[in-house]
Structure 1
Amino acid sequence: MKKITVENLVKRFSLKVLAGEDQLQKPITQSRVHRPGLEFVGHFDFFPTERVQILGKKEVNYLHKLSHEERKIRIGNIVHYHPPCFIVTAGEEGLTYLRHHCIEEKIPLLVTRTVETTSEFIPKVDAYLVKELAPEIAIHGVCLNVSGMGILLRGNSGVGKSETAHTLIGRGHRLVADDIVVLKKLSPQTILGTHDKKTKEFLALRSIGLLNVVRMYGRKAFQEETRIALDILLTKWEKDALNNELEQEPQFTEYMGVKIPSIEIQLQPGRDVAGLIEAAANNWYLRQQGYSAAEEFLSRIEADFADQELK
């Protein structure tokens, strides 16, 4: 199971540490946070104890209104479960009692420094945790964002993946990763493509060497990550192997249980592979909008036949 630490959270969101400075290496293994409102009033049937606990104005104001003894009981009931940490989004004023409990139970107590509501803060933390804790694999290939869509280019070594990526960058599209592509499963329907940090911004071209696309072509040539929409396999040209149907049967490649639409493009000298990839990306987009060129063409044929029969 993947995990990050409380310290990662502190650095990512510039949180202030009020207690548990020596406990920041505690692991976080759950990708959603929790607001313990029901737990403060005594309902623990579905308390997700392994999640980061967020205390907003509602929770803090409720605690402030309790008597000393009642507050001690309510907070004690929760810290007893030792969640990874508490994050307070309502400021640190009047939190001496909570700090005391966290020190006693060795639980990090953190406070946001930025001025934002709890409802604004929670989605940011959730998104960060989902991404960081997502199951991931690394594959050999190239990942690009073409016309706003994530594209995976795969194929045998030397087939021309990086050269094709370079051409696409020259046409205004963006590199995400070359050689090693890290795929993260964010949901049962979503695969995110990114780099492995070491190869960030680099593109390796045979006979040329290693290029830094940002240094050469500017920030617009690179993107940190992209949602994978299409998987394209580049293969060597085989005579008579390509078909010319009006519309190809849907093919898919599966990554961590998520099916990604897949097509094969054969390479031949003089063939505009980058243009074909652009066409594939734009055609995929139109299909998502419910449009099919083949269906429109056939409807025209049927309409023409109907007109001929009426004459």
Structure 2
Amino acid sequence: MKIVTVEDIVRRFSFEVLTGQDQLARELKKTKVRRPGLEFMDKFDFIATEYVQILGKNEINYLHTLTEGECKLRIGNIVQYDPPCIVITSNQEEPLGLIDYCVEKKIPVLRTYDRMSEVCEKLDAFVVKAMAPESAIHGVCVNVSGIGILLRGKSGVGKSETAHTLIGRGHRLVADDIVVLKKLSPQTLLGSHNDKNKEFLALRSIGLLNVVRLYGRAAFQEETRIALDIELTKWEHNALNNELELESKFTEYIGVQIPHIQIQLQPGRDVAGLIEAAANNWYLKQQGYSAAEDFVKRLEQDFDDSKSS
């Protein structure tokens, strides 16, 4: 898991540092932020520790009604749970005693013009992604009609060439050669580049291409949620069958199960078109539609009609 510090969120969101400039190396341990409530009223038995604490208008307005001593007491209820930092939203004035107390306890206090809801949403998304378990694999990642796809296969099988064809059809490259995978949840796997290979596509006999320079911004996407794992393999005679619907197979990455499909390559076969079909068929299944089930129902209806006639 990547280490994320208070300095990382200060740089990412251009937060103003009110105090604790020498404490920005404090590490974030939790992937969610918290908004204090009952802590201010002394009515709590247990509060989770080490969360970034966010103070919105309601919290700040309440603290402004208190004396400096009372404010210090309420802030103490938060600080005892060791937050890596405290963030004041909507560019509000800090309450009495907050800065002095946090200097004493070595807790950075940050401030932003953004509203509470915006700060919570942005910080949660950033920290979850930054601290997510990750792994790098050999392959290509593309976004086809809004659906993230991993293309895997042996070196030289044609992954990058297939990605180039998909780009020509209006789809987007995410990463070539090295794909960085991040586990955002037990069901969510994110695919991205490693910065060095950002926007680059390597084609044998052609060389290295910058797809943004060649085809425009629409040819590239920073990241995508992985929905399908497609393995490109050499053609094997009589290895394919014509079943109505193949048995579901999955590949596991960092504990996340991803539907797996194998596509065999042969001269003249429209591999890019098959990938588009696989992506669209996956989407229909998410909407509850199965072409195989629909076809079987039609056969059963036709059989029932023939019996009744």
TM-score interval, normalised by the smaller of the two chains: over 0.9
Give the C-alpha shift of residue 22 in structure 1. Answer: 1.1
SS at match of 2:139: strand
Map of 2:53 onto structure 1: 53
1:244-303: per-residue Cα shift (whole Å, max 9, x none)? 101111111111111111110001111110000001001111111111111122222222
Q: What's the Cα RMSD here?
A: 1.4
Give the C-alpha shift of residue 61 in structure 1. Answer: 1.4
Any conservation in 1 of the 2:157–2:234 contact (CA below 8 Å)? yes
SS at match of 1:28: coil
Amino acid at match of 1:130: V
Any conservation in 2 of the 1:176–1:223 contact (CA below 8 Å)? yes
1:224-254: per-residue Cα shift (whole Å, max 9, x none)? 0111111101111111011110111111111
Q: Distance in 1 between matches of 2:60 and 2:157?
A: 60
Any conservation in 2 of the 1:34–1:48 contact (CA below 8 Å)? no
Q: Distance in 2 between matches of 1:154 and 1:269?
A: 19
Give the C-alpha shift of residue 94 in structure 1. Answer: 4.3
Map of 1:233 onto structure 2: 231
Unaligned runs of 5+ in 1: none
Q: Distance in 1 between matches of 2:224 and 2:187?
A: 14
1:290 to 277, 288, 291: 288
Q: Distance in 1 between matches of 2:70 and 2:17?
A: 26
Bigger shift: residues 35-44 or 50-59: 35-44
Q: Distance in 2 between matches of 1:44 and 1:105?
A: 22
- 1:144 pairs with 2:158: no
1:194 to 174, 188, 192: 192
Q: Distance in 1 between matches of 2:37 and 2:174?
A: 41
1:9-60: per-residue Cα shift (whole Å, max 9, x none)? 0111111010001111111121100112222222453322211110111111
Amino acid at match of 1:274: A
When normalised by structure 1's length, the TM-score is 0.96
Equivalent residues, number: 309
Map of 2:133 onto structure 1: 135
Map of 1:246 onto structure 2: 244
> Percent same amino acid among aligned pairs?
69
When normalised by structure 2's length, the TM-score is 0.96
Q: Distance in 2 between matches of 1:18 and 1:249?
A: 59
Map of 1:166 onto structure 2: 164
- 1:101 pairs with 2:84: no
- 1:23 pairs with 2:12: no
